[in-house]
Amino acid sequence: MPTYRLDLSYDGTGFRGYARQQGQRTVQGELESAMSTFLGEIPETSVAGRTDAGVHARGQVVSFQVEGLDEGKLVRSLNAMLGGEIVIRRCARVDDGFNARFSAKARTYRYRLNASRVVDPLRRHDEWTVTTAIEPALLSAAVEHFVGEIDFTSFCRSVDGKSNVRRVQFARWEDAGDERQEFWVKANAFCHQMVRSLVGLSYDVARGHTPLAEVQQIIDRRDRSTMGTVAPPHGLTLWEVEY
Amino acid sequence: MPTYRLDLSYDGTGFRGYARQQGQRTVQGELESAMSTFLGEIPETSVAGRTDAGVHARGQVVSFQVEGLDEGKLVRSLNAMLGGEIVIRRCARVDDGFNARFSAKARTYRYRLNASRVVDPLRRHDEWTVTTAIEPALLSAAVEHFVGEIDFTSFCRSVDGKSNVRRVQFARWEDAGDERQEFWVKANAFCHQMVRSLVGLSYDVARGHTPLAEVQQIIDRRDRSTMGTVAPPHGLTLWEVEY
């Protein structure tokens, strides 16, 4: 059967995350329900990044196999059913064997922080407004330690026996103007809550709660129980997936 | 009685506009209800710009008079009650005689247009995604005619006998990157639906529906019945008010 790739964006606010869960409103649940209306069957899908509740996506990728398909018609039909909360950007046939999860070479996430101390009503669902004054230079200094092939056990909920080693290509805070700071991080893959934990630690450093000198020690300890702040999910967006 | 000034932002999505209306959820209704919980009375308020249903505000201003007030406590209390959809940025005592509406010297609005032809789920409530290809240079050329002291009768719903002459200080489209165009317009005051009509006309020109040469003729005609597209409200934000 031919393999197809869907590129989609979503506002994670109203969902209990990407992955289907019994009795919960999820992105996968809504997407597959709309697909089954169009296709007459629920295809088995694979996803690049299983985002948590409240996390958004700009460049999520899903793959599936079906017998023959009018891609343009599928996109229009799904977008009409999904109504703006989930948007299908494109659908294309890809090489046999393509799998949105296992073929992915790298993922990029963005985390948006509002340091103005005043909530912006129009961005309240996609930026974290912190209540404590922060030193932006310390945000940047804190995340320098996270580039390279690193064991992220101190930052990830352990999945028994599985490695938490990930290759991070870049991890940097950028000034987005108007007292907003954006964290951009790209890695081959991420373990659970990894980005939010890195954001939380850099925030703890930038607000003077954790000394900068401790960051490397926290990494080396490989012990999640000592972790501090985990940043809330709504500031996080899965930005891009590379194949 | 002392006069106070409130500066506030809101996400207009869930409201039938600013002005109180019987049986409708409005910004004024929610704000005054929260104020009455704090003050024990509903004060008479004045507002800089009565926004329509779905229109947002970043820098709305409201004034009112009450006997004595802890400004900081009012801000914290209102923000706790209003929950992020309406955010009080500050409250300050101002000179007697200050009136948010009548003391205002100029208002600035922003209208955000998404020309990528793909809805962004996270901005679907504050940008207008157009479905037709547009020529950005024509957006800019169209609005050059709107600067100065002009009779906007062709662009405003008439309120019997009242003048539609307004002084526009600037009206320009700016490239906001990522195929977004933003219209910035500042005037002493605006008549009803004026910004959305100007956006609609520049869109009609930029998509090749209305010849650029007709813009001045439409202004000179002073006849609203010939107006074309009125841009939808959700792309519009009251940005700033000057006193």
pLDDT 10s digits, B59-109: 999 999 999 899 999 999 999 999 899 999 999 999 999 999 999 999 999
Q: How far is CA A177 from CA A14, A113, A115, A136, B201, in A?
A: 28, 11, 10, 12, 31
Shortest alpha-carbon distance between residue B52 and chain A (Å): 16
Domain boundary among B94, B114, B147: B94
Q: Is residue A142 part of a domain?
A: yes
Q: Is residue B185 part of a domain?
A: yes
**Which structural domain, as residue segments, surrounds residue B54?**
3-94
Of the candidates B142, B140, B167, the one whose C-alpha atom is nearest the C-alpha of residue B152 is B167
- List the single residue in A with minimal CA-CA distance to B56: A122
Co-location of B88 and B110 in the same domain: no
**CB-CB under 8 Å, A120 with B125:** no
Interface of B with A (CB under 8 A): 9-11, 56, 58, 79, 84-87, 89, 118-122, 124-126, 237
For residue A121, give the nearest of B10, B118, B124 by CB distance. Answer: B10
Q: What is the pTM of this model?
A: 0.92
For residue A118, give the nearest of B10, B89, B120 by CB distance. Answer: B89
Mean pLDDT of chain B: 95
Q: How far is CA A141 from CA A109, A137, A205, in A?
A: 19, 6, 9
Domain boundary among A94, A119, A150: A94
Average pLDDT in the A25-38 region? 96
Question: What is Dmax (Cα atoms) for chain B?
Answer: 58
Average pLDDT in the A89-117 region? 97
ipTM of the complex: 0.89
- List the single residue in A with minimal CA-CA distance to B9: A121
Co-location of B90 and B121 in the same domain: no
* Bridge partner residues of A30 (DSSP): none
| Helix (H) and strand (E) counts in chain A | 5, 10
Region of A112 (left: φ > 0; alpha: ψ -120 to 50; beta: rest) is beta
Co-location of B230 and B119 in the same domain: yes
Co-location of A83 and A125 in the same domain: no
For residue B56, give the nearest of A58, A84, A122 by CB distance. Answer: A122
Co-location of A162 and A231 in the same domain: yes
- List the single residue in B with minimal CA-CA distance to A85: B121
A226 within 8 A of A217, measured Cβ to Cβ: no
Co-location of A123 and A49 in the same domain: no
- How many domains are there within chain A? 2
CA distance B97 to B118: 48
CATH of the domain at A142: 3.30.70.660
What is the pLDDT confidence band of residue B172, given thresholds at 50, 70 and 90? very high
pLDDT for A71 beyond 90: yes
Q: Is residue B99 part of a domain?
A: no
Annotated active-site positions of B, please?
A: 52
Q: What is the pLDDT of residue B140?
A: 96
Q: Is residue B170 part of a domain?
A: yes
**Residue from A52, A120, A160, A175 carrying the catalytic annotation:** A52
Q: Is residue A101 part of a domain?
A: no
Co-location of A131 and A45 in the same domain: no
Co-location of A119 and A79 in the same domain: no
* Residue in A9, A30, A76, A119 to test binding to B, most B beta-carbons within 10 Å: A119
Co-location of B83 and B145 in the same domain: no
